[in-house]
């Protein structure tokens, strides 16, 4: 199919739609309703090793991922000394109050008959966290990430679902 044909454009649009849903960057994922914490069921951007995949073509390279848990780690072998530069980024989900439409939809799906009280829909909002680049020598050490600016932004969000004291 020649590039620029309507069929090719449709395929590109569909591919972008599917890929953005797989990596969590699709706008539909900025707010989502899940009954449990998002970390129990959402794993985005997992790291994996690069490997040869001969099922696609001869020696075609692709990234493989394995999902063991929802934490992240990086392991690699390096020869000699050197400096490693890393720019961490992640998606942070926090619970918010549902909008009127979200709560109405939840109640319709969940309750056959309305009692005097109903639960609030469990709505989670995504916040993208991008940290400054970290440079360090290739020696075993820890480099903590400062979440204070993100925590302040989330606490300032009027829709944040606050519990307890």
pLDDT of amino acid 61: 46
- Give residue limits of the domains in the chain: 29-46+77-156
Q: Which long-range contacts (CB under 8 A, 24 or more apart) does 158-161 make?
A: 159/96, 159/97, 159/125, 160/94, 160/95, 160/96, 160/97, 161/94, 161/95, 161/96, 161/97, 161/120, 161/123
Could you give phi then psi for residue 54, rounded to 5 degrees? -85, -5
Higher-pLDDT residue of 128, 36? 128
Task: Summarize pLDDT for 133-152 with one digit per residue, the tens.
Answer: 988 777 666 778 888 988 88
Pairing of strands 83-86, 31-33: unpaired
pLDDT of amino acid 99: 92
Higher-pLDDT residue of 18, 49? 18
pLDDT of amino acid 35: 76
pLDDT of amino acid 139: 67
DSSP-derived secondary structure for 108-165? HHH-SS--S--PPP-EEEEEEEEPPPEEEESSS-------HHHHHHHHH-TTB-----
> Across residues 16-37, what is the average pLDDT?
78
Higher-pLDDT residue of 14, 24? 14
Task: Summarize pLDDT for 37-96 with one digit per residue, the tens.
Answer: 776 666 554 434 444 444 444 444 444 444 444 556 666 666 666 777 888 888 888 899
Neighbours of 80 (CB within 10 A): 5
Task: Summarize pLDDT for 150-164 with one digit per residue, the tens.
Answer: 888 888 888 888 775
């Amino acid at each position: 199919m020649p590039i620029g044909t309507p069929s090719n454009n449709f395929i590109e649009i569909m591919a972008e739609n599917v890929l953005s849903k797989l990596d969590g960057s699709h706008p539909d994922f900025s707010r989502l309703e899940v009954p449990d914490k998002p970390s129990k069921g959402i794993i985005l951007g997992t790291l994996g090793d690069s490997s040869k995949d001969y099922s696609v073509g001869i020696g075609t390279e692709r990234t493989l991922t394995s999902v063991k848990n929802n934490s992240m780690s990086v392991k690699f072998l390096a020869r000699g000394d050197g400096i490693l530069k890393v720019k961490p980024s992640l998606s942070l989900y926090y619970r918010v109050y549902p909008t009127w439409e979200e709560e109405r939809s939840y109640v319709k799906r969940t309750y056959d008959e309305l009692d005097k009280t109903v639960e609030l829909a469990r709505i989670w909002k995504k916040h993208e966290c991008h940290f400054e680049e970290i440079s360090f020598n290739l020696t075993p050490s820890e480099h903590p990430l400062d979440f204070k600016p993100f925590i302040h932004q989330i606490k300032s969000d009027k829709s944040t679902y606050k519990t307890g004291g």
